[in-house]
Amino acid sequence: MTDTIRPNLRIVIVGHVDHGKSTLVGRMLHEAGAMPEGKLEQIKAISEKRGMPFEWAFVMDALQAERDQGITIDTARIHFHTDMRDYTIIDAPGHTEFLKNMITGAASAQAALLLIDAQEGVREQSRRHGYLLSLLGVKQIAVVVNKMDLVGYDAGRFGELVTTYSAYLEGLGVEPSVFIPVSARNGDNVGARSKTMPWYQGPTVLKALDGFTEPLSSEDKPLRLPIQGVYKFDERRILAGRIESGRLKVGDTLLFSPSNKTARIRSIETWNAPEPLTEASAGMSVGFTLDEQIFVERGEVASHEASPPVETNVFKARLFWLGHKPLLQGKHYTLKINTLEADVLVERIERVIDTGDLTTREAQSVERNAVAEVVLRTRRMLAIDEALSIEATGRFVLVEDYLPVGGGLVSMEGYPDQRDLITVRSTNITAVGHAVSRELRQSRNGHVGGVLWFTGLSGAGKSTLALALEEQLFARGYQVYVLDGDNVRGGLNANLGFSPEDRAENIRRIGEVAALFADAGFIVISSFISPYRADRQRAREAVKQGFHEIYVEADLAVCEQRDPKGLYRRARTGEIRDFTGISSPYEAPEAADLVVSTDRQSVEECLEVLTGYVERAFRQAV
């Protein structure tokens, strides 16, 4: 006997109903020698007693309902092993009504066997299952073409299905490791190579399983410990939660997100344990104390400082909708990620995807069993991860009327990690006042200071209007200055690129500079795309008073047609990445203080509106 722990791989088996999943599993257990002693004889006896022909599907103890109803209605888990390692098979139902169970099963899988009936061919569910595996991030997939005996073991039919389904999976960015022609009923190419298909030289099903690689274990990923609760025992304040990934030990400094507080682990608390724990790892539920009394609440995520989760209040999501009522754009739901619950707004449905042919369409709602890409926004800051990096903090559930109605994956594509924008690192700061008051500056200037924050797509006309307005206001005696994107990037922000994080930092700095100009009595006209609402809100908060959001509105098609700097053309050819409106989002203001539409108004008409606004908001305010 040995204490060595064998590696275990979780395999989900999916496929259209009646394509032979349960039969394949039964046959695999038999071929692998994993059948309990006497089990096969028992099943044969039951079959004879019922007057039914023997079916390998009967091997699965958990499929009593299938025997009665003819379909698998829940996910069953079966354990077996090969010489190489242990396996947990997750049998997921193929019927449309049980897609939720299929998702539940596939969500924890590390690889997949996807079945296709050689006679029936690729069905709608075959495509949908392929898409869902892709959506759930299951990258290792072997496609099993079953029931080859029903097509006379025909190599041509097998090749035809390989061509059809390969093309579909390629559209998803999925490359299966192998296509295997089998007859699960007869055992062809399940455990041993079939003599009836000498034209096939690839691995058997069991060899294909052994060919899968074991993904990085949860223990080896960055620490993620969602806080479940904070409890007071005698003099101890104990934080409790389950370690979803990574490891921790006494003395580690933990970062709590999104509050961004830090403290060291003083102790790991245990009950009825012979010795106190000094370290813990993924899968363990722990309580621990800290070396200082910081305020931490349920829903925060503990990590190490070097590898924290993303902080954001907006993200993209690939969503599978299960609700009886359709998902609606503009509607609020409850978002659940681990121990976190938050109100979330479906800000935008970017597209609904037809899993049959992968075509997409615009929509204002998502119907039951449909897949969509959406943008979700919360009022509070979240601590999450890209789902493909850390599953535990990157997969979420939407809840409506206390029922789960949808599940999805987090994607930060196009959106910045806002952690650095909200983290204050400076200490011992004491603000210094000014010898000249704001009132004195206003009295001499004849107007109040403030910021006209122009936002809009590239090519909307921001710079044109900003410079023309600056000229007119200066002529009327205003203290006025334009901050323009390209100018600032030549100096103050020369070290920033155009990643979502650099764009956000660019606007944070501009907001602070504009606030200083405004405090000095100037009217600042800032001309920046400033694509994210959160960034503009931070600029508004920096200025404190006198911030005016001006939406320079123009349709994307119009801006692209103007393309004054040739940027759209370069973005369309892929020469420029993360270009707003093309490959990066632009979040239009929800309630701008003023809107000028350059695709419907002339420059002169826009200027008249703008100068009138300035007279009212800045001159008459004195």
CB burial of 191-227 (b: ≥16 within 10 Å; e: otherwise) equals: beebeebeebeebbbbbbbeebeeeeebeebbbbbbb
Please state, in angstroms and rounded to a whole number, the distance separating the CA atoms of residues 270 and 429: 42
Residues 579, 499 contacting (CB under 8 angstroms): no
Residues 393, 383 contacting (CB under 8 angstroms): yes
C-alpha to C-alpha distances, 358 to 98, 126, 324, nearest whole angstrom: 21, 13, 23
C-alpha to C-alpha distances, 515 to 489, 508, 523, 539, 579, nearest whole angstrom: 18, 11, 10, 8, 27
Helices (H), 462-499: 462-475, 485-489
Which of 349, 342, 350, 345 lies closest to 383 in space, CA to CA? 342
C-alpha to C-alpha distances, 505 to 3, 377, 412, 422, nearest whole angstrom: 52, 20, 16, 10
User: Residue 77 has which token pair?
Assistant: 């888990």
Active site residue 530: yes
Three-state DSSP state, 224: strand
- Residue 604 identity: E
Work out the angle between the directed axes of helices 124-135 and 99-107 (0-180°, nearest 10).
40
Tokens 């704001």 correspond to 438
Residues 332, 238 contacting (CB under 8 angstroms): no
- What are φ and ψ of residue 500, in 5° steps? -55, -40
- What are φ and ψ of residue 105, in 5° steps? -70, -45
Convert 24-78 into a string of H (helix), E (strand) and C (coil).
HHHHHHHHCCCCCCCHHHHHHHHHHHHCCCCCHHHHCCCCHHHHHHCCCCCCEEE
Beta bridge partners of 411: 316
Cβ-Cβ contacts under 8 Å for 543 (sequence gap 6 or more): 450, 451, 511, 514, 515, 518
Give the DSSP letter string of 245-269. BSEEETTPEEEEETTTEEEEEEEEE
Burial of residue 609 (CB within 10 Å: 0-12, 13-18, 19+) is middle
C-alpha to C-alpha distances, 10 to 108, 115, 247, 258, nearest whole angstrom: 7, 17, 22, 32
Annotated catalytic residue, options 134, 194, 530, 597:
530
Please state, in angstroms and rounded to a whole number, the distance separating the CA atoms of residues 15 and 88: 18
Please state, in angstroms and rounded to a whole number, the distance separating the CA atoms of residues 179 and 115: 10
Which of 177, 184, 167, 169 lies closest to 203 in space, CA to CA? 177
Helices (H), 112-266: 124-135, 155-172, 205-211
- What are φ and ψ of residue 425, in 5° steps? -105, -20
Before 53, cis peptide (omega within 30)? no
Which are the catalytic amino acids? Answer: 530
